[in-house]
Structure formats: C-alpha cells, structure tokens
Amino acid sequence: MRPKGLFVTGTDTGVGKTMVAAGIARYLRERAGRVGVLKPVTSGAVERGGTLVSEDAELLRWAAQCEAPLSDIAPYILREPIAPSEAARRDGVMVRFERIRESFDRMASFHDFLLVEGAGGLLVPLGPDLLVADLAKRLGMPLLIVARPDLGTVNHTLMTCECARARGIKVLGIVINGFPEIPGSAESYAPRLIEDLSGEAVLAVFPRYPDVDGKAVVERLAARMEKEPLATVLKGELE
Ligand SMILES: Nc1ncnc2c1ncn2[C@@H]1O[C@H](COP(=O)(O)OP(=O)(O)OP(=O)(O)O)[C@@H](O)[C@H]1O
Ligand SMILES: [Mg+2]
C-alpha cells in the first residue's frame, strides 16, 4: 500500500510549489499526525558554513515540524540553479531513483502523511531516464499542480494535466497561486477556463501576499486553507 500523501508539482519553476506545499504541511500539522516532507532534488543550493543547503527543504521542514534527517528530506542538493540533471553532472553526481526511494521509504515508515515537492515542472530532467513525472509515477503519489494566475497559465496548466494523464499519474487537482488583489483581464477567467478545459478541479485560488517573507506567506496560506475545497480533499486523503 502506498503511504498517504501527495506530490506537489508546478506548471513551471517559481510558481509557488514550496509555498503551497509548506502551507499544506503547516495546515496538516495539527490535523494529520506526523507530516513528513521531501524535496528529492534541489538545484540552486545556498552555501552555508561550507555546506550546501536546500532552502526549499528548510522551509518545508519548518512548516511540517519534521524531525527527519536532512539527508532524507533533501537527498540531492546541487549547486547551480539550472536543470537538475545538468546541475548534477557539473557537481559530479548522478541522481538515481533508488536513492530517493530509500529516503521516501524511511520517511513513510514514521510519518502519517508525506508531501513531496518536485523540481520545476513535470518534464524537468533529474537524471538519466528520470524526469520529475517518472519520479511522481514511480513513487505512486497523486499530483497537486500549482499554477500561475496570469496570461499563459491556461496553456501551461492544460499541458501539465495532459502530460500527467498520458503517463497514468493521478491528478488530485490544481491550485492557482499568487492571485492578485485586483485581477487583470487574463486572471479573471483563468480559474474557470482551466477547470472547464482540464476536467480537473481547481482546489484553491491563493492570493499573492506582497511584502511578506516566506514563513509569513506559509502561515497565511495555512490559515486560509479551510476556506478552500483543498481542505476537504486533504481530509479525504487522510482517511
Ligand atoms: N502566495 C504568495 N504570495 C506572495 N509571495 C509568494 C506566494 N507564493 C510564492 N511566493 C513567492 O514567490 C517565490 C517563488 O515561490 P516558491 O519558491 O514557492 O516557488 P517554487 O515553485 O517552489 O520554485 P522552485 O521551482 O524554485 O522550487 C518565492 O519568493 C515566494 O516567497
Ligand atoms: Mg520550490
């Protein structure tokens, strides 16, 4: 049986996967027992005290209050902020599914719910014969797709849904993140059009919170969760 959890992917890099996954982790922390987080592959690490660290993994870990070792939360931390397979090559590393699976299995054995953040979008290469989509499929986790709200998002989101379906990956739904306070013309129809054309549910439309730091965004997303259909879907996944 697969562990409970979900795989958070995006239509692109920088769309808010970490914020949304961390918001969900923060929300579930008081409702789901032990929440585990994984950022299997980070490219674009920061160097601190001579060690490479994954800021995504650190934020996810903080949000979930996950006490697992960082070597399992973030097994591959690569230096350059470029396609992970290329960042790995330049670091002299090879990203292997089996290594990620080992961390995933250890995490699954002592958490009640796992949140996995991909890297970029579904067809981003992680290593030889390993795209983000392959990772989601092989881990057997359903997808939550994070999308931008602005012009171009209909195309990117529909392509992401088609890609998932073509590969037999279950899509739980879509989250539109960073919706502006005053929507422009394109934002005003995007959620409706995406839902109509994709056949997938838009489970949340999260606002853009300007002028606040990452942790404050996470707190706000978590506090807002109960208002969104995503909360009901998460509760369903927990049963
Ligand atoms: N709802 C929001 N309100 C305000 N700022 C946000 C929101 N969502 C994301 N951001 C900001 O946008 C930036 C990108 O978000 P995030 O790091 O979550 O993207 P990502 O999809 O995880 O990127 P990557 O592909 O690098 O992992 C961050 O600086 C984050 O603080
Ligand atoms: Mg991220």
Using the atom order of ligand 1, give the atom closest to the CA of residue 210. Answer: 4
1: pLDDT confidence band, cut at 50, 70 and 90? low
Please give the distance, rounded to the nearest whole angstrom, from the Cα atom of residue 129 to the centre of ligand 2.
22
Tell whether ligand 1 has an atom less than 6 A from the beta carbon of residue 208: yes
Which of 19, 146, 215 for a ligand 1 pocket mutation test, highest count of atoms within 8 Å of Cβ?
19
Q: What does the pLDDT read at residue 211?
A: 84
- Atom in ligand 1 nearest the alpha carbon of residue 10: 21
**Quick one: which ligand is closest to 181's CA?**
1
The domain in which residue 139 lies consists of 5-238
CATH code of residue 214: 3.40.50.300
How many domains, in total, are found in the chain?
Answer: 1
Question: Is the minimum distance from the CB of 16 to ligand 1 under 6 angstroms?
Answer: yes
**pTM beyond 0.75, yes or no:** yes
Q: Chain-wide mean pLDDT for the chain?
A: 96
Q: What is the mean pLDDT of residues 124-141?
A: 97
pLDDT computed for residue 218 by the predictor:
98
Residues acting as catalytic residues: 39
What residue type is assigned to position 194 of the chain? I
From the CA of 48, how far away is ligand 1's center (Å)? Answer: 21
**How much is the average pLDDT of 70-92?**
98
- Convert the pLDDT of each residue in 45-62 to its tens digit: 999 999 999 999 999 999
Query: Measuring CA to CA, which residue among 17, 19, 14 is closest to residue 136?
Result: 17
Q: What digits encode the pLDDT tens for the residues 190-207?
A: 999 999 999 999 999 999
For ligand 2, the distance from its centroid to the CA atom of residue 175, given in whole angstroms, is 15
- pLDDT on residue 2: 76
